Amino acid sequence: MTDSAVAPVRVRFAPSPTGSLHIGGARTALFTWLFAHGQAAREGWPGQFLLRIEDTDRNRLVPGAVQGIFDALTWFGIDWDEGPDVSGPHAPYIQSERQSIHQEHVEQLIAAGHAYRCFCTLERLEQVRAERRANNLPPGYDRHCRDLDPAVVQANLEMGIPSVVRFAMPRSGETRFTDLLRGEIVYQNENLEDAVLLKADGFPTYHLANVVDDYLMGITHVTRGPEWIPSSPLHARLYEAFDWEPPLFAHMPLILAPGGGKLSKRHGATGMEEFRAQGYLPEAVMNYVALLGWSLDGATEIFSKDDLLASFNLERVSASP
């Protein structure tokens, strides 16, 4: 780590151990790593790349997937400055081991009026969904528990009635956030639901855990897939509720199959394990993945790892597939 007084650029790759590392995740890891150790370093900003395992969705965990992620990234040529196997000042780097931290921050949101406990049963939630479908309304929660009397909430808790914690999204107005690739994006709050932050099993959802952990770990830039754009208004509001400065966000473009459409195994290898098993060299895979949404000049197609470190620039990543 440099002795420079310049604040470091801190980024993270945060995969879920629900299977092998897919090409989309590998691209996110590569672009994030190149931004920290290539572009940021060239521009005089000490770059630090963190690996964090997001395993709070307990029902989807795959045994051995964490080690598989380590092995795939190492084969791919990506190392990390902090992570579960190398530790660091912000340990632990496995999200399920940070459960008490997440619960503490949920309680802060509840106390400040930014979140509330929801006791709705699965049956009631399904009824709400059915009614909204019948009335041609978008999916969402009807905020039934948002204004419960505190005495009722306490009584329900004392009786052990299962609950989740939801974020109290403003009922009107707009939520704005800026994407480094797409510019300003605006959502109408009336179209945003009160999302679950803490599940009934005590584990946080992606939304809460990411915001809390990114802030506490000092993450300055977040690169992630386009599927998270609709969640960004909630994340922006969470940062605001905690009175925290948010990181800068860049949502990668979709990876499409040749000719368009969703990429699948019928188009060939789609994961790092498959590329490795089929005998591809990691340098060739890195070259291939680097060109999925980024280009240097629109003409150069062959890059070594050192070439990518010397030339990658996040601003040259396309916002469209």
Q: Among 220, 264, 269, which residue's Cα sits nearest to residue 245?
A: 220
Tell the burial category of 109 from Cβ atoms under 10 Å away from its Cβ (0-12, 13-18, 19+): buried
Q: Among 255, 252, 217, 247, which residue's Cα sits nearest to residue 95?
A: 217
Distance CA 119, CA 183 (A): 38
Please report which residue ranges of 159-304 form alpha helices under DSSP H: 206-216, 232-242, 272-277, 282-290
- Which of the residues are catalytic? 265
**Contacting residues for 46 by C-beta, under 8 A, at least 6 apart:** 1, 2, 4, 6, 8, 9, 40
DSSP, collapsed to helix, strand or coil, labels residue 204 as strand
